[in-house]
């Protein structure tokens, strides 16, 4: 008796010794007939996909830049120090600014002025090393800041007109503009924090 390797989906008939793919059911409920296959048959799912030489060469190339040690990449992946997102950095700066304001206000509670100023200087140095804004970005931030302050002034004027009764029936757009005042204030604070860096 010849040994025929068992292939997925291919069955050997006990009586005749022929190989065949058994009948299968289609999604619509009908049945496919069993099909005879020759020795050495490889099912379509197991046939390797053709790759030309260019694709084979691209797959054989290293994915890392020349000179970069793969062990360094593994070590950096394992390290927990994930880079912070832009909004996370802004939130951290806000917390730090509030903390410094509280510390500077708490100077009379036993902390010396030198201690508070040393802490502020250390935090400014670490902030400056983390995020230095290039001059072109600084100009763009200043321009955006001016525009936002202009919008805030318009919102305040509109609110004053509504409060004084000068504008008796404000439109939906005007009310929405007034409702977004706090968002403008928050964005202005964020941009001012960015400029401080």
Instruction: Say how far residue 163 (Cα) sits from the centre of its chain.
Output: 43
Helix (H, G, I), strand (E, B) or coil at 1: coil
Extract the tokens encoding 170.
């404000």
Contacts of 99 (CB under 8 A, 6+ apart): none
Euclidean distance between CA atoms 2 and 17, whole angstroms: 10
| In the block, residue with structure tokens 């983390």 | 130
Euclidean distance between CA atoms 44 and 157, whole angstroms: 73
Phi, psi of 21 (to 5 degrees): -95, 120
Q: What are the pLDDT digits (tens) for 21-64?
A: 888 899 999 998 988 888 877 777 778 889 999 999 998 888 88
Predicted local distance difference test score (pLDDT) of residue 81: 60
Q: Dmax of the chain from CA atoms?
A: 104
Predicted local distance difference test score (pLDDT) of residue 43: 74
Please list the pLDDT of the chain residue by residue as tens digits (197 residues).
344 445 567 788 888 888 888 888 999 999 989 888 888 777 777 788 899 999 999 988 888 888 888 888 888 777 656 667 778 778 888 888 888 877 776 544 444 445 545 555 544 444 444 445 456 678 888 889 999 999 999 999 999 988 898 888 888 888 888 899 999 998 898 888 888 76
Predicted local distance difference test score (pLDDT) of residue 136: 66
Predicted local distance difference test score (pLDDT) of residue 139: 83
Domain boundaries in the chain? Answer: 1-45, 86-130, 135-196
Q: Where do the H-state alpha helices sit in 61-134?
A: 70-78, 86-105, 113-130
Extract the tokens encoding 30.
């009908």
Extract the tokens encoding 28.
């619509």
Torsional class of 9: left (φ above 0), alpha (ψ -120 to 50), beta (otherwise): left
């Amino acid at each position: 008796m010849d040994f025929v390797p068992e292939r997925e989906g291919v069955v050997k008939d006990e009586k005749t010794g022929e190989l065949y793919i058994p009948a299968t059911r289609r999604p619509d409920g009908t049945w496919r007939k069993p099909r005879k296959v020759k020795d050495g048959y490889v099912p379509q799912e197991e046939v390797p996909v053709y790759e030309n030489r260019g694709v084979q060469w691209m797959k054989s190339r290293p994915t890392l830049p020349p000179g970069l040690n793969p062990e360094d990449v593994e070590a950096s992946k394992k390290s927990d120090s994930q880079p912070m997102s832009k909004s996370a950095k802004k939130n951290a700066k806000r917390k730090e600014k509030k903390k410094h304001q509280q510390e500077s206000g708490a100077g009379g509670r036993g902390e010396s002025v030198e201690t508070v100023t040393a802490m502020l200087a250390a935090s400014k140095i670490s902030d400056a090393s983390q995020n230095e804004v290039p001059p072109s970005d600084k100009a763009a931030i200043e321009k955006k800041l001016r525009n936002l302050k202009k919008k805030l002034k318009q919102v305040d004027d509109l609110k004053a007109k509504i409060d004084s009764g000068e504008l008796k029936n404000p439109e939906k757009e005007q009310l929405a503009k007034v409702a977004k005042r706090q968002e403008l204030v928050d964005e202005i604070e964020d941009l001012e924090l960015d400029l401080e860096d």
